[in-house]
Amino acid sequence: MDHTDEDNVKPTEECHEVHNVDESDRLVGHLFCSRDQAWYFYKGFTREHGFSARKGTTRLDVEGNTRTCCKARVVVTATNTNDKWVISKSYQEHNHALCTPAMTPFMRSNRAVSKADIDETTTLKEVGVGTSQVMNYLTQQAGGYHNVGFTHKDLYNALQRGKANEIVDGDVNAVIAYFDYKKYDDLGFFMTYSVGESGTLYNLIWSDSTSRSDYTCFGDVITFDTTYKDNLYGRPIMPIAGVNYHHNTIVFDTAIIADETSQSFEWVLHNFLEAMMNKSHISVVTDGDRAMQRAIKSVIPYAKHILSAFSKCMASWWKTEEFDIQWRSVVSEFNVEKHPCVIEKGNTRHLWAQAYLTGHFFANIRSTQRCEYMNASLAIALKHKMTYLDVVRAIEDEISRMRMNELKADYLSSHMKPFQITKLFDLESHVAAIFTRESFRAFQDKLLRETLYRIEAEIQSLSDECQHYILSKYKEKNRKFEISFDSRTKTLICSCKKFKTVGLLCRHQLHILKHLNYTYLPETLIQSRWTNDAKASTASYVDLNVSPEVMQMARFAALCSTSSRLCYIASKTDESFKTARDEMKRLIEELENSFGLNDSVNQSIVVNNVRDLQRK
């Protein structure tokens, strides 16, 4: 619809010419309280009579094509008192055919996408619903295409205009400004980027305070992969993930990198460690990408690098001798001894075969599947080529969904009592109270299977404090397991090393505990990262030599865990909600005054000047 600059029009002169009119005698003299009221009245009139209308003094065709030079129009002027508007002139001859009632919804003056429709569409698209499906939904909601008020193209153009307004200064600058703004709401938010020689974005990495505090609790094992490039610039997306106490995937940070070279991976890892206050991790799980291997060796040589397992053979808990026999048998069976890929896999088996990795902690992460799962979820949200801002918001939505799942798991672990599956009531009750629901299920699985083992020999040490046991499995008597138990320290060590590798008891340890009539788990057999108090007890297993920033993040995680419980209880009634809210406000004000954090913050956003890349 064409508008004139109304501020430059004198009140008593012609303000609007609305083209194409019929029945002029019936229109002249109509009074209106405002120009807008006159316009909406006339829009209804033109729709009823089968032609389109436009405000303004220009004389273009409604669709912007060849001019029809139609003289039909009405003139709306202000009355002498300037508080009313009147149709003073009307011309009724048309030089073109009028539309039938079925066609009038397609005329431009009858088409408009409301703000409510745009907001609803944006919300649906953020959860992966396509524009065509949204249009079908809105049409159904309106009762048919003739009532919806716009076409599919109108809706698409409205969304594109909104997106263009968001990135008016460029896509990259919009993302940087978005992150700068988030820093004011999240003081622990981390973001940094690098720029290429041409002034375009090269690498970008970001992490919020929740992800950073999660790392202090569960950053002992990380995994990353780059498998998703569906953005306007074809750049790889690289989430760095781990596993929490519910055995669910958590994201520590996300990077968008220029390419999959060792230089880009090194840049990401250096800045990742900076974001996490250089707190070291134990193991890193990746695929077989050599550039990743070089970057890990250069930046974090102290971490155990594990390659993603791709078959059951790789993940089987054999001894190294048993694995080598099985490997040679399979290679010989398929006659691939001289195949380059098989030779390379054989030479690097110490990086991927479970038999060679036993004893190295990796929290049961044996592949990059957790990153691939996140990438698959992003693929649903990013069906089409998207801007960086779209990608960032899609990743935030996915992380938000993960955190909601964690909150649900917290509730189930703290408020739902699991079923017991054995007669060992005291032992199961003790473990159920300590571990999260998923960790307890893993314990129950081991508890059921420990009955497959029996003690073949029991050897008493000279000190009378340490006992040694030899276990064998039902129908597999040739497989022996050696377990030693120190009654003084209550330490139980098994030759399978599963506890050291995964952090959960093995069947053999459980069999010995039952043999010794234990009704509880000794503290030496409880890995705190799998317990309900994993976040609250962070300080107990964080290195005491770490920086104050790391300790602050650990305390932040512990407070988040405690406050979530408070919020849950306080939200049950309006009275308890108001009490908790007022007390929290009082405490916040008291602590802000104590630390001098109540000064006004200058929230001006730094104007960035990073150029967008060429779109692919």
φ and ψ of 175, to 5 deg: -65, -45
Kindly give the pairing relationship between strand 283-286 and strand 304-307. parallel
465 and 430 housed in the same domain = yes
Residues 193 and 288 in one domain: yes
Q: Enter the tokens of residue 477.
A: 């008597």
Indicate whether 204 and 300 sit together in one domain: yes
301 and 180 co-located in one domain: yes
Q: What is the DSSP letter of 228?
A: B
Distance CA 291, CA 294 (A): 5
What are 99-128's pLDDT values in tens digits?
A: 776 666 666 666 777 777 777 777 777 666
Same structural domain, 239 and 365: yes
Residue 274, CB half-sphere, CA atoms under 13 Å: how many?
13
Instruction: Say if CB 166 and CB 188 are below 8 A apart.
Output: no
If asked whether residues 523 and 546 sit together in one domain, one would say: no
Q: Which of 105, 130, 150 is the last residue of a domain?
A: 105
**pLDDT given for residue 215 in this prediction:** 92
- Beta bridge partners, 306, equal 285
pLDDT of residue 551: 62
Please check whether residue 396 lies inside any domain of the structure: no
Q: Is residue 350 a part of any domain in this protein?
A: yes
216 and 156, same domain (yes or no): no
Asked if residue 224 is part of any domain, the answer here is yes
Question: pLDDT value at position 77?
Answer: 83
Q: Which residues of the chain have pLDDT under 70?
A: 1-25, 47, 56-68, 82, 92, 101-110, 126-128, 159-169, 227-232, 309-317, 368, 370-385, 462, 537-554, 556-557, 560-561, 597-616
d(C-alpha 482, C-alpha 468), whole Å: 7
In a domain, 410, yes or no: no
Alpha-helical runs (H) found in 143-286: 145-148, 152-166, 171-185, 209-218, 262-275
pLDDT in tens, 232-265: 577 888 889 999 999 998 999 999 998 889 999 9
pLDDT score recorded for residue 14 = 37
Is there a single domain that holds both residue 351 and residue 368? Answer: no
User: Do 339 and 370 have their domain in common?
Assistant: no
* Percent of the residues in the chain that have a pLDDT greater than 90, as a whole number: 21
Are 197 and 259 in contact by the 8 Å Cβ rule? The answer is: no
Domain assignment of residue 398, yes or no: no
Domain boundary among 166, 182, 208: 166
Orientation angle between helical segments 388-415 and 115-126, nearest 10 degrees: 70
Range of the domain at 186: 170-310+358-375+535-616
CB 64 within 8 A of CB 73: no
Q: In this structure, are 599 and 510 located in the same domain?
A: no
> Quick check: is 489 in a domain?
yes
Q: How many domains does the chain have?
A: 5
Domain assignment present for 276? yes
For residue 611, the model assigns a pLDDT of 59
Residues 208 and 70 in one domain: no
Residue 13 falls within a domain, yes or no? Answer: yes
Does residue 280 contact residue 301 with C-beta atoms inside 8 Å?
no
Q: Are 411 and 417 spatial neighbours (Cβ–Cβ below 8 Å)?
A: no
The 3-state DSSP class for residue 18 equals: strand
Q: What's the CATH number where 562 sits?
A: 3.30.420
pLDDT of residue 264: 93
447-466 in b/e burial notation, b at 16+ Cβ within 10 A?
beebeebeeeeeeeeeeeeb
Indicate the length of the chain as a whole number. Answer: 616
Query: In angstroms, what CA-CA distances link 393 with 175, 530, 544, 610?
Result: 10, 30, 36, 20
In this prediction, residue 64 carries a pLDDT of: 34
- Nearest to residue 209, comparing CAs of 191, 181, 187, 229? 187
| CB distance 441 to 419 below 8 Å | no
Tell whether 562 and 431 lie within a shared domain. no
| The last residue of a domain, from among 469, 497, 530 | 530
